[in-house]
Amino acid sequence: MDFQAVVDQVHQEVTPHIGEGKVADYIPELATVDPKQFGFAVATVDGTVHSAGDVRTPFAIESISKVFALALVLGKKDSGIWDRVHREPSGTPFNSLIQLELEQGIPRNPYINPGAIVVTDQLLTDSGDALAAMRALLRAETGDAELDVDSVTAASEARTGDRNRALAYLMASFGNMRNRVDDSLDHYFRQCSLAITCEQLAKAGLLVARHGVRADGGQLMEREDARHIIALMTTCGTYDAAGEFAYRIGLPCKSGVGGGILAVMPDQCAIAAWGPGLDVHGNSVTGAMALESFVRATGDTVF
């Protein structure tokens, strides 16, 4: 398939819509991002990248980091993580508290905020430094030794992170946190603030598309673990819009409020779309549009 032609077509189709949606403003630093940006990149499993638009502009990875945190935790056998987080779609917003109390502090899945905080807490226990582990992984998979946290965004997340604190302390009250709540949250806020470009995200996503095989050929996790990560992207990766994403796009996706969406076509490619304007569920408007257009052009879905 001529992926570059497909990527160019996607870019052309989305261009009239660039700027649509609303940038996240509950994290003040994200509100300063120019909404009139858009990038689209496809990395095929052989490592080739095709891209168009603003594909070398860094943006905050936000909740897409949850995929990589889970990969690192699953890469270590017997972490016991599935005793601490379930695997069902929540049908609620990513930072909702309601279900968490009703379900005794066990989050519905690892891709909503409480689930991701538990995963980061586990990674902190396993590695001694969750942020360092994730940054090292992303540096290795993207080939960019400079990839790092945007400290202004991280400070902004921490300053306005009361909802995440409430989630974490509620879980602690049920005995579902292993480290000091503030320590785990510090790693969580910084992992969300890692700055990544669209091209880099597509490359890093190959880790998932290749079922755990790293850029250097090593195996981060077992093939079955990667299959689980992909399944959860389909059912929970875009929160209370996961059903709509499966219907419209038909690819496993993980979104973040920085406007990025990572999608994978297992054993074929990883696709990254970025547009800062979000819909009411916190998913990128142009990112979703781009993925829809990509699937229309290729005819490839997992269904």
Ligand X SMILES: NC(=O)CC[C@H](N)C(=O)O
Q: Which residues bind ligand X (CB under 6 A)?
A: 62-63, 94-95, 113, 157, 164, 192, 256-257, 282
What are the structure tokens assigned to 115, written together? Answer: 């689930």
Closest to ligand X by CB, 52 vs 208, is: 208
Is 113 annotated as contributing to ligand binding? yes
Helix spans in 160-251 (H): 162-173, 181-192, 198-209, 223-236, 242-248
What are the structure tokens assigned to 90, written together? Answer: 């929540």
Question: Looking at beta carbons, which residue is closest to ligand X?
Answer: 63
Q: Closest distance between ligand X and the C-beta of residue 157, in Å?
A: 5
Q: Closest distance between ligand X and the C-beta of residue 178, in Å?
A: 19
Q: Closest distance between ligand X and the C-beta of residue 160, in Å?
A: 9
Q: Closest distance between ligand X and the C-beta of residue 26, in Å?
A: 7
What are the structure tokens assigned to 68, written together? Answer: 């990589």
Closest to ligand X by CB, 19 vs 93, is: 93
Closest to ligand X by CB, 63 vs 90, is: 63
Catalytically annotated residues:
63, 66, 188, 239, 257
Helix spans in 92-178 (H): 98-102, 113-127, 130-142, 151-159, 162-173
Alpha-carbon torsion 188, 189, 190, 193, what sign? positive
Q: Closest distance between ligand X and the C-beta of residue 238, in Å?
A: 9
| Pairing state between β 253-255 and 195-196 | unpaired
Is 63 annotated as contributing to ligand binding? yes
Q: Cβ-count burial of 183 within 10 angstroms (0-12 exposed, 13-18 middle, 19+ buried)? A: middle
Is 157 annotated as contributing to ligand binding? yes
Q: Which uninterrupted H or E stretch holds 195?
A: strand 195-196
Closest to ligand X by CB, 20 vs 157, is: 157
Closest to ligand X by CB, 3 vs 239, is: 239
Alpha-carbon torsion 96, 101, 107, 108, what sign? negative
C-alpha span between 233 and 303 (Å, rounded): 14
C-alpha span between 212 and 220 (Å, rounded): 5
Summarize the annotated binding site for substrate as residue ranges: 63, 113, 157, 164, 188, 239, 257
